[in-house]
Every structure is written in C-alpha cells, then in structure tokens.
C-alpha cells in the first residue's frame, strides 16, 4: 500500500515517481524542475585557441605551398621550351634548316613548328600563302594552345580574337629583324653548321610576359613603346623610348598577343636589352627594335640550340649570336680544399664549327689546370683572348 498524506480533510497519495527509490536522480523533481545532465563540449575560449592554432599552421604552410606551385609552374614552362627546341631540331632534320623567325606573310616560327608539337590539326587550318590577318587564317589564330602559355603568367589572353603566347624566338643582337645574327630572324634559313659558336652556347627561345592590352605606361614588363616609323630603326639608341615612356606617349600593350604572328615582340625579339631591364622595350612598327625578356621572378627559362633548357638569372648578361665573340661565365666548384674561382672570358674561336666551338672555353681555365691541358688541344684551332680576369 502506498502511504497517504493528510491535507486537511482530504487524503492524497504520494506520486509513485517520488516514492520509488530506484528513480534516477536526474529524473526526480526538485522544486518543480528536473535535474539536467551535464553534456560535454568546447568552451568559447577553447574554440578560439583551436582556431588560432589552425591559423598559425596555415600561415606556416602557405609559403611552402606557394614555393611548390611556383616550382611546378617553372618546370612546366621549361618543358614547353624543351618541346620547342626538339621541334626545331625535327624541323631541321626535315627541311635541312631551322624555321624562319618570321616569314614573308608574317607567320611565326611556332606556326611552322605546329606539326612537330602535336598540333597538326591547327596547322592544317592555316593557309601560309595568305597573310596572318587574312580571314582564311582567323579560325586557326583564335586557337588557344596550352604549349604557348606559361603557368607563371596570370595573364592568359591579350586579345579576345587571338591565342596568345609567352615564348619569343631570338632574332639576334641587332635591332632589325632583317639579316640579323641570331637563329630565327626574318626569312632566315640557318643550319646547325652555321652556328660556329656552338649549339650549347647559342640562345634560341625564351619565356617572357604577355601584354595586358593597356595603353598606359604602367609596367615595362607588359607595355612597350611602339613607334609607327620603320626608319626609326636606323637612329635607335639605348635611351630610345625612355622619354616617350615618361610622357606616356606611343605606349602599346599587345605584347605576345598572337602565337601565329612572327613580327617583333609578337613572335620574335632581339637581345638588345637585359632581362627585366628597367628601360622599356621599343618597337619600330613591328619590324625590329630594342627588347629583352621579361619575367615575374629573378630569371627566365631559356632554350639553347642543342635542345637544353636553363634558368638564367637576370643579373647575367648573355648574347644570342650564332658565330661571334660571346660573354661567358664559368665557375669551378671547390674541390680538395681548393677555393672556388670564377672566370669571366670574352673569347672567339676560329677553325671549329658546331658544338666544337665551345672547346675554346677550355683555354680560359688554363691557370686552373696548367698549360699541359692546353697543349693537348689540336694546333689547327686558333684562339683570341680579349679579356681574362679573376
């Protein structure tokens, strides 16, 4: 029997939920309320600490991730240059010469190399008997080729109706594209035998930045000075274009706008300015001018005539002639406790052609290896040293 409570004259039974001793404590009434179980969880302070640690970890890892991405992009660009260099050699094997930097109808060397870089379908759409601006070549010119783009450059297109490029072919060291001293100039047909300075020493293709389409003097890596007179090539000086740039006159931003176009600063350039030069590039109606390679880093990937690709720092000065004195930097690593020495030599060789021309550089280290090393070279090779310094 349940006990009864007396309230005045009425008798009330005690609720069974209170009377039972096996009722959980959290379910027993206390002042009309039930006891709530304490649930596990994070406090606000603990949550803020966790978020702070995650932010710190992200800040530490972000630079490393960016470096990895930049290295991958640079490797991809170097691979593109490698394919171009091999394509040039395959073209040479087929036609017994390297392609012209720009032909009579304005087509670039890349347009001629399309079948050798697995772009034969685009190549078949081109009518090389008509100018690049002809409507018959519009469809091909609009094609965006992945091999023409450098992943390091955030600008993907310059003109909506043209596929852009990040790679320029070297015409030489003279301002004009006609009869230059490089490998790929106007209507050129250079053979490997003509590269008397050595294919491993002669520059052929380099990466650069595209224009952004702007006509304001903002960035020398994107814009350049465009002169409408071809005759200005005769009077070009190193300071040419500087004043126009300061005055914001004759500024163009169509650099590398079309991979099909082989004109100056479209598909070709001249090594008349240094890498990332502070002075603006100057184009004389696309027939030639002053130019250098531009980049967002401290150097550029370049392809040489032997098919090799190297990363060249902007502080290094190099020429792109195919058979003339060159400025070369040679560094020998320290070994057996001997200090590392750096030698800068301006030398030219006569009597050697092709890759053998580079053997003239052996003489530049005669003080490191002794005269006996020089004596073992053939007597038929003559050398001229213009400057030797340690």
Do residues 229 and 335 both lie within one domain?
A: no
Predicted confidence at residue 354, as pLDDT, reads 37
What is the rounded distance in angstroms from the CA atom of residue 332 to the CA atom of residue 366?
Answer: 13
Could you say which residues of the chain have pLDDT below 50?
1-2, 5, 7, 315-319, 324-390
**Residue 48: inside a domain, yes or no?**
no
**Residue 58: inside a domain, yes or no?**
no
Do residues 315 and 277 both lie within one domain?
A: yes
The whole domain housing 333 covers: 328-389
Do residues 26 and 90 both lie within one domain?
A: no
Length of the chain measured in residues: 390
Predicted confidence at residue 375, as pLDDT, reads 46
**Residue 165: inside a domain, yes or no?**
yes
Q: What is the pTM of this model?
A: 0.69
Of 364, 358, 371, 370, nearest to 385 by C-alpha is 364
Do residues 348 and 254 both lie within one domain?
A: no
Do residues 85 and 158 both lie within one domain?
A: yes
What is the rounded distance in angstroms from the CA atom of residue 389 to the CA atom of residue 342?
Answer: 9
Do residues 315 and 359 both lie within one domain?
A: no
Predicted confidence at residue 260, as pLDDT, reads 96
**Residue 26: inside a domain, yes or no?**
yes
Predicted confidence at residue 367, as pLDDT, reads 39
Do residues 12 and 109 both lie within one domain?
A: no
**Residue 64: inside a domain, yes or no?**
no
Residue 328, Cα to own-chain centre: how many angstroms?
A: 23
**Residue 46: inside a domain, yes or no?**
no
**Residue 74: inside a domain, yes or no?**
no
Report how many domains make up the chain.
3
**Residue 382: inside a domain, yes or no?**
yes
Predicted confidence at residue 251, as pLDDT, reads 95
Q: Identify the domain boundary among 281, 302, 324.
A: 324
Do residues 273 and 306 both lie within one domain?
A: yes
């Amino acid at each position: 029997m349940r006990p009864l409570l007396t309230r005045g004259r009425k008798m009330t039974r005690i609720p069974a939920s209170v009377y039972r001793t096996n009722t959980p404590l959290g379910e027993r009434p206390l002042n009309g309320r039930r006891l709530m179980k304490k649930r596990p969880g994070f406090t606000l302070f603990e949550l803020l600490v966790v978020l702070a640690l995650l932010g710190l970890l992200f800040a530490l890892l972000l630079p490393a991730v960016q470096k990895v991405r930049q290295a991958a992009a640079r490797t991809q660009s170097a691979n593109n240059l490698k394919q171009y260099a091999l394509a040039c050699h395959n073209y040479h094997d087929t036609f017994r010469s390297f392609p012209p930097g720009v032909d009579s109808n304005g087509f670039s060397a890349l347009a001629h190399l399309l079948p050798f870089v697995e772009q034969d379908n685009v190549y078949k759409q081109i009518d090389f008997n008509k100018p690049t601006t002809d409507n018959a070549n519009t469809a091909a010119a609009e094609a965006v080729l992945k091999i023409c783009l450098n992943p390091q450059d955030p600008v993907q297109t310059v003109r909506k109706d043209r596929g852009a490029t990040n790679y320029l072919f070297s015409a030489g060291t003279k301002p004009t594209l006609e009869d230059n001293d490089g490998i790929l100039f106007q209507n050129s047909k250079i053979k490997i035998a003509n590269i008397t300075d050595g294919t491993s020493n002669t520059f052929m293709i380099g990466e650069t930045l595209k224009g952004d389409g702007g006509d304001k003097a903002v960035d020398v890596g994107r814009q350049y000075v465009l002169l409408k007179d071809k005759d200005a090539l005769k009077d070009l000086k190193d300071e040419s274009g500087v004043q126009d740039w300061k005055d914001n006159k004759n500024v163009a931003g169509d650099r590398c706008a079309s991979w099909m176009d082989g004109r100056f600063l479209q598909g070709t350039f001249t090594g008349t300015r240094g890498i990332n030069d502070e002075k603006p590039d100057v184009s004389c109606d696309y027939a030639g001018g002053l130019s250098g390679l531009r980049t967002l880093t401290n150097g550029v990937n370049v392809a040489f005539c032997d098919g090799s690709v190297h990363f060249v720092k902007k502080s290094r000065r190099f020429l792109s002639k195919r058979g003339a004195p060159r400025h070369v930097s040679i560094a020998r690593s320290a070994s057996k406790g001997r200090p590392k020495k750096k030698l800068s030599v301006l030398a030219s060789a006569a009597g050697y052609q092709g890759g053998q021309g580079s053997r003239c550089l052996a003489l530049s280290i005669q003080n490191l290896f002794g005269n006996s090393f020089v004596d073992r070279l053939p007597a038929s090779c003559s050398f001229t040293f213009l400057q030797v310094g340690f």
